[in-house]
Structure 1
């Protein structure tokens, strides 16, 4: 049988060049430096390698600080998991410091936040109660939230404001840990963006679809107003993989259609993994005509305290 294998290629004539004259993407000038005991957060960031997120994270911190120094908005869009991992005190502190100027939540956000305010606990074990059809049937959660939404619709205000004011009015024992209650007290706008049927309060007899629609659409219009002033500001998407990235993109196209100049601003997405919609609708598409988008992957309970600590250090220097 004839040998069907070709002869190996001869590399002896390969053209080479010097590594010293070649452009390289990594240099020892970009390397990390060892950490030392007792470092400030700013000093810790200075030790990071000037590569990938090691360069991007300090830049985002500087951009947020610059936006606030110049009186530009910093808007946080977030999923409910941020509340469930215990980060309300961090975010409330940022609101008090004036470093966070508005918040957008999904429907689950008001549920976990209100339960924290009322009971100091939230997030039932679904597997334990789903079989009995008891998941989401907590009486107080449905009554307080659906009542607030109906009242808000009747008063011509949005879900976020209505719930925050209802929590304050109810004088619940843990209002100081509630994003919505503290935002209402501090005068920080909160908008809530609901997909009908996704939230446990929609199964309660007190749910009013028309009221949810009216108050929810009011909040979308308020959110559009906030986005219309985003030039030079920052939009952060934390832990929302689908709903809030879609809401943000629609708000951006509305305000541009109406003639608002929203071209140069900063966006960033924080989540456990990289999803299509946040990467496309928050980080990439909105900043094509100016500004810059960032993406950071990691646990909220680590990343957000680090961001807050770095921002407080940066703004105070």
Structure 2
């Protein structure tokens, strides 16, 4: 409340108020995210918000689940692409390709989507840093974590263990699960954190699907957070979904600064 009530600070205050209100009324707060928030260390904070029941579902792209696994497995993630691409070594780490692909196949055979498949593997594994895993937290808490893949964009697709059928069907199962989450978004909040293409497109399709099926999802809040504005998030998250009700917001800033500030403000309002 100490922030000035002008411009972006005014939006920030309104966003935190809307999230707190949704939480108090039992309405869903859903986080859609790219991989960069994981790379800059936000996973533990996201897990805390899941544990407190504030974030009730998470959707991520294919790179997100890779970084999530590596954080749980090694406590860190990322590599120097420029140094590795010339030798054809980029993305060729053995453990990530083998273990994530194996988890996807095992889960696919059980009828699971990719998010649950990797989350259950992390939850059951003896990973030193598994408490920092978003998919692992989803499996532990019973919170939907969905993974939305564009085939060929992720390093695990290059590995011999990659199974196109398992990846494709697993991601499609997750799309259906995500759509079921979106169907209950009336009065809730959808945040897009650092996904410029995949999640804005997935969200728009899930929204039109559930509206086509007769679900009333008109009055809700959308928030896009990224360090530069992009066309698809501004159009498919902030503007189009709220044309018939609700309100969309955009906050510009680095994830590692803005999201902790947002989380602290939300926790201050509800605790």
> What TM-score do you get using the length of structure 1 for normalisation?
0.84
Aligned counterpart, 1:238:
193
Alignment of 1:80-159 (within 5 A): 80-159=35-114
Q: Aligned equivalents of 1:182 and 1:244: distance in 2?
A: 20
Are 2:260 and 1:305 aligned? yes
Aligned counterpart, 1:228:
183
> What TM-score do you get using the length of structure 2 for normalisation?
0.99
In the alignment, structure 2 segments of 5+ residues that lack a partner are none
Aligned counterpart, 2:130:
175
Q: CA offsets, 1:52-94, max 9 Å, x none?
A: 1111111110100100110100000000000000011111110
Instruction: For residue 177 of structure 1, report the CA deviation from its aligned partner.
Output: 1.2
Aligned residue for 1:105, secondary structure, equals strand
Q: Which has more radius of gyration?
A: 1
Q: 2:202 aligns with which of 244, 247, 265?
A: 247
Instruction: For residue 121 of structure 1, report the CA deviation from its aligned partner.
Output: 1.6
Aligned residue for 1:236, secondary structure, equals strand
User: Considering only aligned residues, what root-mean-square deviation do their CA atoms show, in Å?
Assistant: 0.7
Instruction: Report which of the two has the higher share of helix.
Output: 2
Instruction: For residue 170 of structure 1, report the CA deviation from its aligned partner.
Output: 1.7
- In the comparison of the two structures, how many residue pairs are matched? 271
**Displaced runs of 4+ in structure 1, greater than 2 A?**
46-49
Aligned counterpart, 1:271:
226
Q: Aligned equivalents of 1:214 and 1:151: distance in 2?
A: 13
Are 2:175 and 1:185 aligned? no
Instruction: For residue 47 of structure 1, report the CA deviation from its aligned partner.
Output: 3.0
Q: Aligned equivalents of 1:130 and 1:245: distance in 2?
A: 29
Q: Aligned equivalents of 1:48 and 1:112: distance in 2?
A: 34
Aligned counterpart, 2:4:
49
Question: Relative contact order (C-alpha < 8 Å, sep 6+): which is higher?
Answer: 2
